């Protein structure tokens, strides 16, 4: 990360709050010398250190971070494409792969927490929804075995192929196309689309 850019932002917000280096050190659990070295641009602070400083200064972590480098954008693009793991391991692959990648890189990549949380919240929500729809299909199939002549069931079963096709289209969209588009956008330095209608499991 750009140590000088981070240092200038920390100094700016600290002075804006009327806070001394000693007070900032006390609030973050760092020693004064470490704060001085960070503000002088002599050290490259880890993300968890920046997070504690941001909390003490009452600003969002993103306010202290420099613009991502192209290498970081490449890594974020890889993160965004990981939900295609659904097609290797249905239901869990689209959540497991981005989670593993996020955990491995969370201290290295600028902005990864924001991207990772949005991806995981969206993919978890859609996995739960897809599992629910799949459960309905299983119930319909089992019911057809035990109540083969039920008129209402026959009507539902006539729509069964439609449900399967709709499920496949949704799976390709939310586990393939949407992540691919976001990966391309992030790679090119643009903001990714937010996952719609998601539950915020990770905040």
Q: What is the pLDDT of residues 39-80, one digit of tens each?
A: 999 988 888 899 899 999 999 887 888 878 888 899 999 999
Same domain, 29 and 79: no
Residue 8 has pLDDT above 60, yes or no: yes
Residue 172 domain-assigned?
yes
Residue 1 has pLDDT above 60, yes or no: no
Q: Which pLDDT score is estimated for 60? A: 86
Q: How many CB atoms within 10 Å of residue 169?
A: 11
Q: Which pLDDT score is estimated for 128? A: 92
Same domain, 137 and 109: yes
Q: How many CB atoms within 10 Å of residue 95?
A: 23
Residue 200 domain-assigned?
no
Distance CA 96, CA 112 (A): 16
Instruction: At 168, list the tokens.
Output: 């496949």
Distance CA 68, CA 71 (A): 8
Domain residues for 118? 70-187
Question: Are the beta carbons of 141 and 107 closer than 8 angstroms?
Answer: no
Angle between helices 32-39 and 21-28 (to 10 degrees): 110
Q: Last residue of some domain: 21, 42, 64?
A: 64
Same domain, 38 and 106: no
Q: Which residue has the higher pLDDT, 62 or 85?
A: 85
Same domain, 85 and 42: no
Same domain, 79 and 119: yes
Residue 59 domain-assigned?
yes
Question: Are the beta carbons of 76 and 68 closer than 8 angstroms?
Answer: yes
Q: Which pLDDT score is estimated for 136? A: 77
Q: Say which residue the tokens 């956008």 belong to.
A: 185
Residue 155 has pLDDT above 80, yes or no: no
Q: Last residue of some domain: 44, 64, 84?
A: 64
Residue 138 domain-assigned?
yes
The structural domain count of the chain equals 2
Q: Which pLDDT score is estimated for 142? A: 72
Q: What is the CATH number of the domain that holds 31?
A: 1.10.260.40
Same domain, 49 and 129: no
Q: Which pLDDT score is estimated for 131? A: 86
Distance CA 109, CA 46 (A): 10
Same domain, 116 and 155: yes
Q: How many CB atoms within 10 Å of residue 182?
A: 26
Confidence band of 195 (pLDDT split at 50, 70, 90): very high
Q: Which pLDDT score is estimated for 162? A: 72
Same domain, 56 and 78: no
Q: How many CB atoms within 10 Å of residue 121?
A: 18
Q: What is the pLDDT of residues 105-143, one digit of tens each?
A: 887 787 788 899 999 999 999 999 888 878 877 777 677
Same domain, 12 and 36: yes
Same domain, 48 and 99: no
Average pLDDT over all residues of the chain: 87
Q: Report yes or no on whether pTM surpasses 0.85.
A: no
Angle at 178 between CA 174 and CA 182, to 5 degrees: 145
**Listed residue (46, 55, 45) closest to 17, CA to CA:** 55
Helix (H) or strand (E) holding 19: none
Same domain, 83 and 177: yes
């Amino acid at each position: 990360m750009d140590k000088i850019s981070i240092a200038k932002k920390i100094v700016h917000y600290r002075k804006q709050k009327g806070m001394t280096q000693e007070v900032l050190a006390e609030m973050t659990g760092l020693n004064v010398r470490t704060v001085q070295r960070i503000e002088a641009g002599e050290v490259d602070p880890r993300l968890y250190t920046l997070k504690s400083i941001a909390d003490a200064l009452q600003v969002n972590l993103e306010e202290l971070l420099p613009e991502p480098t192209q290498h970081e954008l490449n890594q974020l693009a890889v993160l965004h494409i990981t939900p295609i793991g659904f097609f290797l391991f249905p239901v869990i692959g689209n959540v497991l792969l981005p989670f593993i990648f996020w955990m491995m890189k969370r201290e290295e990549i600028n902005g990864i927490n924001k991207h990772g949380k949005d991806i995981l919240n969206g993919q978890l929500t859609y996995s739960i929804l897809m599992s629910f729809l799949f459960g309905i299909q299983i119930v319909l199939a089992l019911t057809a075995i035990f109540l083969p002549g039920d008129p209402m069931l026959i009507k539902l079963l006539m729509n069964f192929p439609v449900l399967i096709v709709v499920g496949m289209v949704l799976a390709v969209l939310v586990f393939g196309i949407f992540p691919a588009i976001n990966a391309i956008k992030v790679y090119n330095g643009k903001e990714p689309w937010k996952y719609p209608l998601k539950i915020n499991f990770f905040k």
